[in-house]
Structures are given as C-alpha cells and as structure tokens.
Structure 1
Amino acid sequence: MTSPAPTRAYRRLSVEERQRQLKEAALSLFAVRAPDEVSLDDVAEAAGVSRPLVYRYFPGGKQQLYEAALRSAADELEQCFAEPPEGPLTQRLANALDRYLAFVDQHDAGFSALLQGGSVVETSRTTAIVDEVRRTAAEHILAHLEVVGARGPRLRMTVRMWITSVEAASLIWLDEEKQPPLDELRDWLVEQFMAVLVASAGRDPQTAEAVRGALALETADGPAGSLARRVLPVVSDAAHLL
C-alpha cells in the first residue's frame, strides 16, 4: 500500500498580499533574464504558487504582471524624496537618499528592472512609470529649493541631471558589489548636488538665488561646510585663472 502523493500546500493570503508576492517574484526574475526566458510557470515557481493562480490575479499575463510590479516599485521610490521642509538642504537630501539607497540595497534586482526595463520590451506605459518617478523626485527637490516664481530651465535641468546621476551611481554601486558603503555613497551624492548647483549658479540668477537661500541654512560643521573646506584649497591653486 503506497501513501498518496503529497499535495502542494498554499498559504492563505489576502488579495493584496498575494498580488504583492507575485509582483516581487516577477520583478526579481525580469531583472536578470530576457522575457522569452521567463514564463508564468517560472513566476509561479518563484512565488511558490500554481500557474492558474498567477492568471487569476493577472489575467493579462506576463506584461500585465511586469507593469504592475514596476508600478509597485515606482510608488515606493516616489515617496523616498518626500521630506519635510525643515533644516539644512543637505540634511533633507541625506534623509531622502537614505530611503532611496535603502530601497536599492533591499530590492537590487527590482531596482535594476525598474530603471533598465528588466529586459522586457518597453511600452509607453512602462516608460511612463519610470519617467513619473524621475519627475516626482525632481518636484520634491525643486520644492526644497524654495524658488520664488516659475522655475527656469537651467534650474530644472540641474536637478534632473543630478537625479540621473543618482540613478547611474546606484546601478554602478550594485555592479561594484555594493561598494563604497552606503553612508559614503550618500554623502558623496549630496556633495555632488551642492557642487553642480553652485556651478549652475554662475550662469543662472535664479539658481544663484536658490544657492544663497540653501547656504544660509547650512552650518560650518555640516556637509556644505566640509565640502567648502576641502574644495577651496584646490580652487585657490588656480588663482591665476581669475
């Protein structure tokens, strides 16, 4: 007499929990494999569920699941730059980057999938999801600069360029086996923003106004003061250019 074959046990989850489970499984797979190599069976196996259950929650198949996974990751990233308008600008940026880089660290494959398309064929919807993250981050940062009136193209471009550099640095950090340490990467990115903002201020009165307002809130022992002490001696060596 043989024992009956064991049946696969499913943990009972709420609709929201099950959808989140499937989206996380899909995002991790799409981040490292080409779309033709990932099936819904693969997603089901990664999530520990049956293929019909995946279709139950995502009847549109793999593309629908991928877009839902991107949207979930994007929603979390968009909130990273939501920081109260209090204290020095460098501290606000550091707080925002702590959340952003923590997401990168904890969802490395998913972050790569979000910004690099995860090898899935891009659609207007997936492109819009990624662009929305960038636009939201830019709006949060521009709000912190407290510029009076409409924000000019040079200031907007400066902020958007920095956001692009944060994305690139995060991807390179993952490729470099998460080195340097996160706090060092965070401080470096904050300093880069202040440096590029000051450089743009030399060409744009509106950016110069934003820089003056931001520096007025900084302290000598803060990131801006530390950056100035390290950079000014280097710049002073080029006094003959003045």
Structure 2
Amino acid sequence: MAERILSPTGSRRRLSAEDRRSQIVETAAEVFIENGYQGTSLEDIAAHAGITRPLIYHYFRDKDALYLEVLTRARAALDAAIIDRVPADASPEEQLRGGIEGYFHFVRDHMHLWELLFGGGTAVAGAVAEEATRQRFETSEKIALLVSAAAPEEPALRANAYAHAISGAGEALTRWWQHHPEVSLEEIVELHMDTVWRGLGPILDSLG
C-alpha cells in the first residue's frame, strides 16, 4: 500500500470537496501501484475508496485525468525531496550530495511511488505516457537549475545535459539497488557521487 504523502487526508469526518478529491487520488495511487495502469478501472478505485464511480467523475473526467493527477503529486513529492536537502550557500559538491541524498531517501521511504513514476505502472502510450515523460524531463530541468546555480559560467545547454546524466544515473542505480538490498542508503549515495562527481566535479571546480 502506498504511503500517504500525496495529501494529508485521513480524517473520518465529513470531507470537504478538496479533501474528497485528495482521498480519491490517494486511493487511486494505491490501486495503480498494485494493479498497474492497464489493470486498473475506475470501478476498482471507487470500490477501494468506498464511493461510487459517478463521484469520481465529479472530480475527474476519466481514468487518464485521475492517473495524471497521481503522477503529478508523486512527482512533486520527489522533486521536493530532492530540493529540500540541497543546502543553500554550499559548495557544488555539497549541493549535489544533498540532492542525491534527498532522491535516495525518497526511494527508500517511498519505493512504491518511485515505481509508479519510473517502473511498470506507467502508461505505455498516448497522452498519459507523453505527460509522464514531460514530467520526468521537468525533474531533470530542476536539477539543471541547481547545476547552473553551482556553476553560473557553464553554458545552459551543457548544464541541462549534466542534469539529465545525473538523473539517468540515479534511476539506473535505483534499479541496481533493488537487486542489492544489502547496500545501505549511505553507500548508494556514495556510489552515485562517485559515478557523477568524477566527471562533473573537475568541470564545476574549474568554473568556480
């Protein structure tokens, strides 16, 4: 079952419209994670939420719209986990380490949501898949802003390329980590730092 980080909803009181919407999103995340996008229907989500399907349609036009809301909130939670651990006024290496620590803390604590964003639960075609890809690129764009802040003299195009390399390496290491649970969080952070900083560090240092 997914951890409730997409919204604070959890009360048994009569829900406001916004709380009801959040409850539907939370429940949908749980069902999508368990069954995948293709294997989930609005009837499944309504049954898990203890509501009727017409009530879902009151908030979302179809399954795609609901799935995109789940992805958007999960992506926002991941982005916040990365950004929140980046120390202000720190060296480029400390900023990079902070972002990597935030990413892998999210992976460790919310693996099911990570799987929803990067794994088999994603839609394979159509507008939903296109939006999921766009959101993944937006995460890399946020990382690019951190790279540019650490090395303002570096051309924006190269900073963007570095950010995508950092993001891609993190995703690949996460998949490797799933097969090696004996590796601690601290160790996986160091592995990512070793992978990225050996190439990026000298470049940023030369510009600092």
- Asked if these proteins are the same fold (TM beyond 0.5), I'd say yes
Identity within the alignment, %: 25
Paired residue secondary structure (1:132): helix
Superposition pairs for residues 170-209 of structure 1, below 5 Å?
170-173=174-177, 175-176=178-179, 178-198=181-201, 207=203
Q: Give 3-state SS (helix, strand or coil) of 1:27's partner.
A: helix
Equivalent in 72, 93, 97 of residue 96 of structure 2? 93
- Per-residue deviation, residues 179-232 of structure 1 (Å, max 9, x unmatched): 42212211221222211225xx5xxxxx3xx22356xxxxxxxxxxxxxxxxxx
Equivalent residue number for residue 29 of structure 1 = 31
Among candidates 126, 129, 146, match of residue 135 of structure 2: 129
1:160 aligns with 2:154: no
1:14 and 2:16 correspond: yes
Give the letter for the 1:181 counterpart.
S
Larger Rg: 1
**Alpha-carbon distance change, 98 to 14 in structure 1, aligned in 2, over 3 angstroms:** farther
Counterparts of 2:47 and 2:105, CA distance in 1: 27
Change (3 A) 1:177 1:49: farther
Is the 8 Å Cα contact of residues 35 and 119 (structure 1) preserved in structure 2? yes
Deviation string 1:141-186 (CA, Å, 9 cap, x unpaired) is 3322x23263353x5433321211112222333x327442212211
- CA distance in structure 1 between the partners assigned to 2:148 and 2:171 by the alignment: 18
> Residue 35 of structure 2: SS of its match in structure 1?
coil
Structure 1 length-normalised TM: 0.67
Find the aligned partners of 1:170 and 1:72 in 2 and give their Cα distance: 20
**Map of 2:54 onto structure 1:** 52
CA separation of 1:62/1:213 partners in 2, compared to 1, >3 Å: closer, same or farther? same
1:74–1:129 contact (8 Å) kept in structure 2: yes
Query: Offset of 1:69 from its aligned partner?
Result: 0.7
CA contact (8 A) 1:112 1:118 kept: yes
RMSD: 2.7
* 1:47 Cα deviation after fit: 3.2
> Contact between 1:70 and 1:114, CA under 8 Å: does it hold in 2?
yes
Aligned to 1:66: 67
SS at match of 1:165: helix
Question: Matches of 1:149 and 1:92 in 2, distance apart?
Answer: 16
* Partner-residue secondary structure (3-state), 1:35: coil
- Cα separation, 2, equivalents of 1:47 and 1:106: 24
Structure 2 counterpart of 1:231: none
**Is this contact kept in 1: 2:46–2:52, CA < 8 A?**
yes
Aligned residue-pair number: 192
Unaligned runs of at least 5 residues, structure 2: 1-11
Deviation, structure 1 residue 62: 0.9
> Shift in Å at residue 67 of structure 1?
0.4
Structure 1, unmatched stretches of 5+, are: 1-9, 202-206, 215-242
**Partner residue in 2 for 1:212:** 206
Q: Is the 2:78–2:103 Cα contact (8 Å) retained in structure 1?
A: yes
The CA distance in 1 between the partners of 2:27 and 2:154, in whole Å, is: 45
